[in-house]
Amino acid sequence: MKIIDIHAHILAEDTIRLLQQEVPQVAIKLTPIDQEFSVLEVAGAAYRPFPRGGWDLERRFKDMDAAEVDMQLVSNTPQTFLYSQDPEVTMATARLQNDQIVKLTAAHPDRFMGIATLPMQAPQRAADELARAMRAGLRGAHIGSNINGQNLDDPALAPFWATAEQLGAFILVHPVGVAGAERLKSYYLANLIGNPVDTTIAAASLVFGGVMERYPNLKVCLSHGGGFVPYQAGRWVHGWRVRGEPKVNLTVSPAASLRRFYYDTILHAPEPLEHLVRLAGAEQVLLGSDYPFDMGTLECARQVKALAIAEAERKVILGEGAAALLRTNR
């Protein structure tokens, strides 16, 4: 059994060079801080520190081995979603990154699978690029928790969701442009709280907007343990029972949609992860590291191995579930 990490980001050096040459208007730049970290600048915004493993493949292999991870499902870094750019620009950056990930997976098929980034602000073009990328060998897409402030139940996204379901695409929802950012400027709260909050909003929009119900074969994974979704799922079901507003787009209880979400393991403590496995079932939980970022962990596989769960459940989470799920209809 391969141990498969389904939440790992990449922006390799050769990809950066190609983006600088072919899409110079997004002004991607990597400026070293020291041997281990750099400043990543994209479209006028700077992220620091960007760890070496994000761009250095040799370091990534060493870290994967240290983490006891056999294979990564790699996706773009959230800094390169670029939803606020002109769709032509985002399409160019997405296509280039997707082709680079295809090359990486072809060169190292025993170590990597990949998912695409898409111009989600142009849903039909996103659907078309998803289909193209999956024909080339990618397994789905990595998308933001909102698209320039619009929730994921926006009717304009229907072509994307229909295509994702038809292709059997694996969709990893990752927080971006988090809600309440003006109140989260201190203490790294934009990440500590803002990221799980925005994932929760995305999940609620998919549930109560009827997206999960209308597309019953969607494969949607919520990053960072699903935010607050598993803990508050009972509140959502109760609210649907006692209020009219949550019923507008649903024909049955939201429990049916909630049961279909997948979750990564990035919770950083055994108690909430064991709770997630009990609530969602091991078949809905997938190993994740959030490599290479500081809120990720190289302990991901060891954390799962140490859980007080059945051995069969452990195997499902570590890789058996991902191996089955990442088969597609392309």
pLDDT digit string (tens) for 294-324?
Answer: 999 999 999 999 999 999 999 999 999 999 9
pLDDT tens-place string over residues 160-216: 999 999 999 999 999 999 999 999 999 999 999 999 999 999 999 999 999 999 999
Please report the sign of the dihedral spanned by the C-alpha atoms of residue 223, residue 227, residue 229, residue 231.
positive
User: Position of tokens 């399409």?
Assistant: 91
Number of Cβ atoms within 10 Å of the Cβ of 133: 28
What average pLDDT does the chain have? 97
Q: What are 36's two structure tokens?
A: 């281990």
pTM: 0.97
Look at residue 222 in the predicted model and tell me its pLDDT. Answer: 98
Q: Is there a contact between 93 and 19 (Cβ–Cβ < 8 Å)?
A: yes
Look at residue 330 in the predicted model and tell me its pLDDT. Answer: 57
Look at residue 317 in the predicted model and tell me its pLDDT. Answer: 98
Residue 282: inside a domain, yes or no?
yes
pLDDT tens-place string over residues 276-293: 999 999 999 999 999 999
Q: Rounded to the nearest 5 degrees, what angle is found at the Cα of 67, between the Cα atoms of 66 and 68?
A: 90
d(CA 326, CA 168): 8
Between the alpha carbon of residue 274 and those of residues 14, 154, 237, 270, the distances in Å are: 40, 34, 22, 6
Look at residue 191 in the predicted model and tell me its pLDDT. Answer: 97
pLDDT tens-place string over residues 82-138: 999 999 999 999 999 999 999 999 999 999 999 999 999 999 999 999 999 999 999
Of 23, 42, 125, nearest to 82 by C-alpha is: 42
Q: What are 317's two structure tokens?
A: 């989470």
* Cross-strand bridge partners of residue 70: none
pLDDT tens-place string over residues 200-242: 999 999 999 999 999 999 999 999 999 999 999 999 999 999 9
Residue 18: inside a domain, yes or no?
no
Look at residue 38 in the predicted model and tell me its pLDDT. Answer: 97
Find the mean pLDDT for residues 39-51: 96
Q: Report the number of distinct structural domains present in the chain.
A: 1
Look at residue 327 in the predicted model and tell me its pLDDT. Answer: 87
User: Position of tokens 């609530």?
Assistant: 279
Look at residue 1 in the predicted model and tell me its pLDDT. Answer: 86
d(CA 120, CA 137): 20
d(CA 97, CA 54): 14
| CB-side neighbour CA atoms (13 Å) of 58 | 1
Residue 197: inside a domain, yes or no?
yes
| CA-based R_g, the chain, Å | 19
Q: Is there a contact between 273 and 225 (Cβ–Cβ < 8 Å)?
A: yes
Q: Is there a contact between 29 and 94 (Cβ–Cβ < 8 Å)?
A: no
d(CA 289, CA 267): 10
Identity (one letter) of the amino acid at 109? P
The domain in which residue 193 lies consists of: 4-11+53-325
Q: What are 151's two structure tokens?
A: 């929730």
d(CA 261, CA 273): 15
Q: Is the peptide bond before 24 cis (omega within 30 degrees of 0)?
A: no
User: Position of tokens 């915004």?
Assistant: 45
* DSSP SS3 for 174: strand
Residue 122: inside a domain, yes or no?
yes
List the CATH number of the domain containing 243. 3.20.20.140
User: Position of tokens 């800094």?
Assistant: 79
Residue 33: inside a domain, yes or no?
no
Residue 47: inside a domain, yes or no?
no
Burial class (CB in 10 A: 0-12, 13-18, 19+), 21: exposed
Residue 196: inside a domain, yes or no?
yes
Residue 134: inside a domain, yes or no?
yes
Q: Is there a contact between 139 and 168 (Cβ–Cβ < 8 Å)?
A: no
Look at residue 329 in the predicted model and tell me its pLDDT. Answer: 65
